[in-house]
């Protein structure tokens, strides 16, 4: 018996290479009549940024500024992802129009991808492979490696 694929989590970093991986996700979603959850992870503030904020702002100001900043960035990213999805689906035509839910979550990318896939009962994770051919051979990117290592859900890596 073949597994059902009702939900595909597509992990996006908004890079220039995301088109082939998204098109692969759309192709699979069309074939299996699946929904796509398009996910982008917003990395948390780094230690330098946090230290600067601690030096100049009190705890309440830091908390408010961080919440407002993340919310503004989250909304901007959702709009960009939704526009990208709409543009791609317009190019692909009506035959390739799966439902796409855009989600932006704050956290470390690999951890967010695995957690959201579990939370949304995804049967498949699709993501592009970041590689560095300058090393003489291709190495899979660290986020991809972590997702493969940590996920109990099948991961499809699309070379880009």
The confidence score (pLDDT) of residue 58 equals 79
d(CA 7, CA 34): 5
Q: Cβ atoms within 10 A of the Cβ of 93, count?
A: 8
d(CA 23, CA 156): 13
H helix intervals, the chain: 18-32, 47-56, 59-92, 109-119, 142-150
- Tokens read off for 44: 């948390």
**Domains (range + CATH), the chain:** 7-159 (3.40.50.620)
Q: How far is CA 49 from CA 40, 44, 116, 156, in A?
A: 21, 10, 26, 34
Greatest Cα pair distance, the chain, in angstroms, is 60
pLDDT of 137 strictly over 50: no
Using an 8 Å Cβ cutoff, are 158 and 127 in contact?
yes
The confidence score (pLDDT) of residue 154 equals 96
pLDDT of 148 strictly over 90: yes
Kindly indicate the confidence band of residue 136, based on its pLDDT and cuts at 50, 70 and 90: very low
d(CA 13, CA 129): 11
pLDDT in tens, 73-116: 888 888 888 888 888 878 777 666 789 999 999 999 999 999 99
The confidence score (pLDDT) of residue 56 equals 72
Burial class (CB in 10 A: 0-12, 13-18, 19+), 121: exposed
Provide the 3-class DSSP secondary structure of residue 3: coil
CA torsion, points 64, 72, 111, 54, in degrees to nearest 10? -30
> Mean pLDDT across the stretch 38-43?
91
């Amino acid at each position: 018996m073949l597994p059902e694929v009702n939900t595909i989590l597509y992990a996006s970093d908004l890079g220039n290479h995301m088109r082939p991986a998204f098109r692969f996700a759309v192709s699979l979603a069309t074939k299996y009549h699946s929904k796509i959850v398009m996910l982008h992870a917003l990395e948390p503030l780094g230690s330098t940024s946090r230290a600067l904020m601690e030096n100049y702002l009190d705890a309440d100001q830091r908390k408010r500024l961080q919440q407002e900043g993340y919310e503004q960035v989250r909304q901007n990213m959702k709009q960009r992802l939704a526009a990208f999805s709409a543009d791609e689906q317009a190019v692909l035509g009506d035959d390739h129009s799966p439902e796409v839910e855009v989600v932006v979550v704050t956290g470390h990318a690999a951890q967010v991808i695995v957690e959201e896939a579990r939370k949304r009962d995804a049967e498949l994770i699709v993501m592009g492979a970041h590689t560095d051919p300058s090393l003489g051979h291709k190495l899979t990117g660290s986020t991809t490696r972590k997702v493969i290592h940590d996920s109990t859900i099948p991961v499809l890596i699309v070379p880009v």
